[in-house]
Amino acid sequence: MTVHELQQEIIRLKKEKDICILAHSYQTREITEIADLTGDSFQLSVQAQKARQSTVIMCGVRFMAETVKLLSPEKKVLLANPTAGCPMAEQMDKDMITAVKQKYPDYTVVAYINTTTELKTVCDVCVTSSSAVKIVKALPNKNILFIPDCNLGGYVGKQVPEKNIKLLQGGCPIHARITEREALNAKAAHPNALLLVHPECTEGVVKHADFVGSTSAIMKFAEQSDAEEFIIGTEIAIGQHLSYTCPDKRFYSLSKELICPNMKATSLSDVYHAVCGDGGEVIELDAEVAAKARVCIDRMIELG
């Protein structure tokens, strides 16, 4: 089967079997083309709740599929490729954060959505990269413990100086390895280009950016901007999608290293097998754990 034939077969089967396919914007174009919705972590969480289909297939990483299951426990939720995890989500666990909370009992614990379901049970509210500033601003407590991404947390701290934000050492290994020198070199190589970066990048990179935002916010900014050239400081897929939607503009990746192997683990063939019913992993969550974890996801949607 050609890629096009496989896509047509997936589209036919998903209609027949009442399946909704969600794809994070870091997925390849052949997957986003057959998805019912493509977006950033926040958009996927909100849309998953609204999906009318009885089955949802997540093309992304594990915490995203778990978030869908938390919000729609009555739905069958599959992770298209069971090996796709987010290394940042595994950096901190429930016991570690419970111990930190004992040291800082008067802090509100804000968890980036890139965390495990179990860890979310001891957190107060979740945020995504697109909602973090708004939510932290809206919280009544001045003292915030922000986990696990110290780069995103540091960025939020700069936007919300009235809060006292405590950070721990965690973050995205893909974004965090981009250096300030690379940002300066890219700007020198493309002096007319705007630098658009994800807040998971280090402060040294973010300070040279013309725009900082989530994956979807970066795409929207580039699509609406009058500028013609952009350096994209997030996973390589974003520049590739933008090259299709804005054929008259030019997009350069900030670094060739900006490839997330976990986000790239899902293939069109994985999606086909998940739709057929002989692939993917059905997400099962303990009911008590899920009920506790859901509280901070609901709060995120309410405040975001």
* Cβ closest to ligand SF4, residue 7 vs residue 213: 213
Contact in structure between 239 and 252 (CB atoms under 8 Å):
yes
Q: Which of 86, 84, 23 is nearest to 237 (CA)?
A: 23
Contact in structure between 112 and 152 (CB atoms under 8 Å):
yes
Answer yes or no whether residue 262 interacts with ligand SF4 by CB under 6 A: yes
* Cβ closest to ligand SF4, residue 28 vs residue 143: 28
Among 7, 45, 72, 128, binds ligand 13P (CB under 6 A): 128
Residue identified by tokens 């996973």 is: 235
Bond prior to 73 in cis (omega within 30° of 0): no
Answer yes or no whether residue 88 interacts with ligand SF4 by CB under 6 A: yes
What does 262 bind: ligand SF4, ligand 13P, none (CB cut-off 5 to 8 Å by kind)?
A: ligand SF4
Answer yes or no whether residue 40 interacts with ligand 13P by CB under 6 A: yes
Answer yes or no whether residue 174 interacts with ligand SF4 by CB under 6 A: yes
Q: Where are the beta strands (DSSP E) in the chain?
A: 19-24, 37-39, 55-59, 76-79, 108-112, 125-127, 143-147, 164-167, 194-197, 211-212, 229-233, 250-253, 281-282
Segment interacting with ligand SF4, rule: CB under 6 A, options 151-159, 168-176, 220-228, 276-284: 168-176
Among 124, 182, 235, 270, binds ligand SF4 (CB under 6 A): 235
What does 129 bind: ligand 13P, ligand SF4, none (CB cut-off 5 to 8 Å by kind)?
A: ligand 13P
Answer yes or no whether residue 87 interacts with ligand SF4 by CB under 6 A: yes
Calpha distance 142→107 (Å, rounded): 8
Beta bridge partners of 146: 110, 167
Answer yes or no whether residue 79 interacts with ligand SF4 by CB under 6 A: no
C-alpha 31: how far from chain center: 16
* Cβ closest to ligand SF4, residue 55 vs residue 128: 128
What does 214 bind: ligand SF4, ligand 13P, none (CB cut-off 5 to 8 Å by kind)?
A: ligand 13P
Calpha distance 139→185 (Å, rounded): 39
Answer yes or no whether residue 27 interacts with ligand 13P by CB under 6 A: no
Instruction: Report the chain's terminal Cα–Cα distance, integer Å.
Output: 43
* Cβ closest to ligand SF4, residue 124 vs residue 149: 149
Helix (H, G, I), strand (E, B) or coil at 125: strand
Answer yes or no whether residue 114 interacts with ligand 13P by CB under 6 A: yes
Answer yes or no whether residue 41 interacts with ligand 13P by CB under 6 A: yes
Answer yes or no whether residue 214 interacts with ligand 13P by CB under 6 A: yes
Q: Which of 193, 188, 191 is nearest to 225 (CA)?
A: 193
Answer yes or no whether residue 254 interacts with ligand 13P by CB under 6 A: no
Calpha distance 144→259 (Å, rounded): 31
Binding site for ligand 13P (CB under 6 A): 40-41, 114, 128-130, 172, 200, 214-215
Binding site for ligand SF4 (CB under 6 A): 61, 86-88, 114, 172-175, 235, 260, 262-263
